[in-house]
Amino acid sequence: MGDSTSPLSTYQAKRDFGETPEPAGAVEPSGGAPRFVVQEHHATALHWDLRLERDGVLVSWALPKGVPPDPRVNHLAVHTEDHPMQYLDFQGSIPAGNYGAGTMSVWDTGTYEPEKWGEREVIVVLHGARVDGRYVLFQTRGKQWMIHRMDPPADPDRDVWPGWSAFPAMVAVPGAAVPAEGYGVEFAWGGQRVLTFVSGGRVQLHPVGGPSVSEGGENGGGELVGRFRELRALGEALGVTEVVLDGEIIVVDGDGRPSKPRLAERQGARSDAASRRLSERYPATMMVSDLLWLDGHSTMARPYEQRRQLLSGLSMSGPAWQVPRSYPGTDGVALLAAASQQGLPGVVAKRLDSPYQGDAGAWIFVPAGKNDA
Ligand code: MN
């Protein structure tokens, strides 16, 4: 056990080294350029831990939204206890019941130049594989600090998230048939259409039309993600990747078909406890069909075909979300028959070369016939 004057005494007192795989460690000054690590820590809430070598220990901050890539958006940094140098390459699983329980992986590591090291302000130049640039950490109150990027974004064309008004949802016009040429075809699921914004591992849902439209606006999304809490895991899965997705939330019945009554029950949950209970009873799935924003860039002007390729590149598949296939237009007739058989509302044909918010008719909704099977 560390004595109370050791810089690691707080670190050691919080942990039972018979239980956790983390290193007990010791103060260990190293020669050469000081090192840093950013660990992605999937604990009770996802966060990233920034640790800077200083006087033989790793001085640490927990960053709930990660290292900011853009000088226009500062992130919170909560000062935490010094960690031992041996923590630089720690990755692993901290068992339930222990401090910091969850999984930890090295997100980035490298060396840094300390430009200023004050009691309330630290300026460093990080040289990592993912983060490269000059940052200032400054104390605002107690353990609360902020981290600000002092350099321009590494990606000079990067834009700041412009808010929901920049993402008017594309609407499909009704049509009688699926055009065979130049279109991709998807099932329409009859669920709750939502736009989803994920940034710094946090998820916001923005309802589009439908019964939950009254929840719209900047705060409505917070309420909706409380109702569909299983979608928060989408943030855990995407990590620092920033996206806006278009999709539908569905809840299936015992036969695996989208159920409107069950969806309505989820949408109508009146309390946090009810939302939680219903999420276990009637789990929801987000059917993702489009990508409107990726890491500081709008993708809306790109053709649908390209947006789908970018979406595929994210390899999104998880317990509560999936990216259903887009089929060639030539499969439209077969797909419509399948929609009818499965009790789905129909299919949506999307012109492959059309931007999001293209001409009327770039998206065509073709209703399924009555199921007479
Ligand atoms: Mn942590």
Whole-number Å distance, alpha carbon 290 to ligand 1 midpoint, is 33
Whole-number Å distance, alpha carbon 121 to ligand 1 midpoint, is 21
Whole-number Å distance, alpha carbon 286 to ligand 1 midpoint, is 29
Of 134, 179, 159, 93, nearest to 295 by C-alpha is: 159
Q: What is the pLDDT of residue 353?
A: 95
Ramachandran quadrant class, 190 (left: phi over 0; alpha: psi -120 to 50; beta: rest): left
Whole-number Å distance, alpha carbon 47 to ligand 1 midpoint, is 6
Ramachandran quadrant class, 204 (left: phi over 0; alpha: psi -120 to 50; beta: rest): beta
Whole-number Å distance, alpha carbon 42 to ligand 1 midpoint, is 8
Whole-number Å distance, alpha carbon 209 to ligand 1 midpoint, is 39
Whole-number Å distance, alpha carbon 97 to ligand 1 midpoint, is 15
Instruction: Find out whether 292 and 244 touch, Cβ atoms under 8 Å.
Output: yes
| Local confidence band at 212 (pLDDT 50, 70, 90 cut-offs) | very low
Whole-number Å distance, alpha carbon 104 to ligand 1 midpoint, is 8
Whole-number Å distance, alpha carbon 86 to ligand 1 midpoint, is 15
Average pLDDT over residues 163-169: 94
| Local confidence band at 276 (pLDDT 50, 70, 90 cut-offs) | very high
Q: What is the pLDDT of residue 211?
A: 44
The total of other beta-carbon atoms located within 10 Å of residue 60's CB is 20
Sheet of strand 327-328: strand arrangement: 173-174, 363-367, 346-351, 183-188, 327-328
Look-up: residue for tokens 């923590």? 87
CA distance 366 to 363: 10
Whole-number Å distance, alpha carbon 49 to ligand 1 midpoint, is 5
Structure tokens at 14: 């919080």
Whole-number Å distance, alpha carbon 119 to ligand 1 midpoint, is 22
| Local confidence band at 6 (pLDDT 50, 70, 90 cut-offs) | confident
Whole-number Å distance, alpha carbon 217 to ligand 1 midpoint, is 32
Whole-number Å distance, alpha carbon 6 to ligand 1 midpoint, is 21
Structure tokens at 202: 């946090």
- Fold classified for 164-367: D-amino Acid Aminotransferase; Chain A, domain 1 (3.30.470)
Whole-number Å distance, alpha carbon 213 to ligand 1 midpoint, is 37
Q: What is the pLDDT of residue 330?
A: 87
What is the phi/psi pair of residue 18, to 5°? -80, -15
Look-up: residue for tokens 């930890």? 104
Whole-number Å distance, alpha carbon 63 to ligand 1 midpoint, is 8
Helix (H, G, I), strand (E, B) or coil at 324: coil
Whole-number Å distance, alpha carbon 105 to ligand 1 midpoint, is 10
Q: For the chain, where are the E strands, in sequence order?
A: 35-42, 46-54, 57-63, 75-84, 92-94, 102-117, 121-128, 132-141, 144-149, 173-174, 183-188, 192-199, 202-207, 243-251, 284-294, 297-298, 321-322, 327-328, 346-351, 363-367
CA distance 179 to 122: 60
Whole-number Å distance, alpha carbon 84 to ligand 1 midpoint, is 14
Q: What is the pLDDT of residue 361?
A: 87
Beta-bridged to residue 59, according to DSSP, are 52
Whole-number Å distance, alpha carbon 43 to ligand 1 midpoint, is 7
Average pLDDT over residues 305-333: 93
pTM for the model? 0.90
Beta-bridged to residue 333, according to DSSP, are none
Q: What are the extents of the domains in the chain?
A: 9-149, 164-367
